[in-house]
């Protein structure tokens, strides 16, 4: 696993890749915190600090997704998670740019009843690849932005940048 420490308009950005694609994209304020977060997510994995060179272009692709979400193409992803989590993450990737969905809708999309939205929210929270798996496009059924693992203000910023409309239902 190769680790790239970079920056973007939302703060510090850590991107971890394998030969299969992007494993993790973590956003935060402090590089050391991001690094320990990565370690707790993938215990026992060997991490190699890569030169800030971005040989395969994956880091550039992730940054492009953050800065120009409407035009950028996502990099290949290497999804590490349980069966259930991967199902949720795949459903998330089918949400188009500029649109939002709800935890209840996602629950139905992966074959559960709408009342199991809480399990879906947990799977979103466990998502290791910020922005490329667009868990920021999931809002509560009453239109509230709800929570976001990497900060509620980053969620709002990303949605505004994408031009999402359903995010503020009462703002007419």
Partner DNA sequence: GCCAGAACTCTGG
Partner DNA sequence: CCAGAGTTCTGGC
Count helices and strands (H / E) in the chain.
6, 6
Assigned token pair, 108: 């139905």
Residue 122 touches DNA, criterion: CB under 7 A: yes
Among the listed residues 135, 159, 164, 167, the single contact to DNA using CB under 7 A: 135
Residue 144 or 160: which CB sits closer to DNA?
144
Residue 124 touches DNA, criterion: CB under 7 A: yes
Q: What are phi and psi of 92, to 5 degrees?
A: -60, -40
Cα angle value 2/68/58 (rounded, 5°): 15
End-to-end Cα separation, the chain, in angstroms? 47
Subset of 39-58 contacting DNA (CB under 7 A): 40
| Residues acting as catalytic residues | 135
Q: What DSSP character marks residue 141? A: T
Among the listed residues 79, 90, 126, 166, the single contact to DNA using CB under 7 A: 126
Residue 166 touches DNA, criterion: CB under 7 A: no
Q: Return residues touching DNA (CB under 7 A).
A: 40, 82-85, 102-104, 112-119, 121-127, 135, 138-142, 144, 146-149
């Amino acid at each position: 696993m190769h680790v790239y420490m970079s920056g973007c308009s939302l703060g510090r950005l850590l991107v971890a890749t394998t030969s299969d694609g992007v494993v993790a994209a973590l956003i935060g304020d402090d590089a050391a915190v991001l690094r320990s977060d990565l370690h707790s997510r993938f215990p026992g994995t060997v991490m190699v600090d890569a030169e800030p060179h971005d040989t395969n272009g994956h880091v550039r692709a992730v940054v492009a997704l953050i800065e120009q979400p409407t035009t950028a193409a996502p990099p290949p992803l290497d999804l590490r998670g349980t069966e259930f989590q991967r199902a949720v993450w795949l459903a998330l990737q089918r949400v188009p740019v500029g649109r939002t969905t709800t935890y209840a809708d996602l629950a139905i999309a992966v074959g559960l009843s709408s009342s199991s939205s809480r399990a879906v929210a947990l799977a979103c929270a466990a998502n290791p690849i910020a922005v490329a798996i667009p868990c920021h496009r999931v809002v509560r059924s009453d239109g509230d932005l709800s929570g976001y693992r990497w900060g509620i203000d980053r969620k709002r910023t990303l949605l505004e940048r994408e031009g999402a409309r359903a995010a503020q239902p009462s703002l007419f």
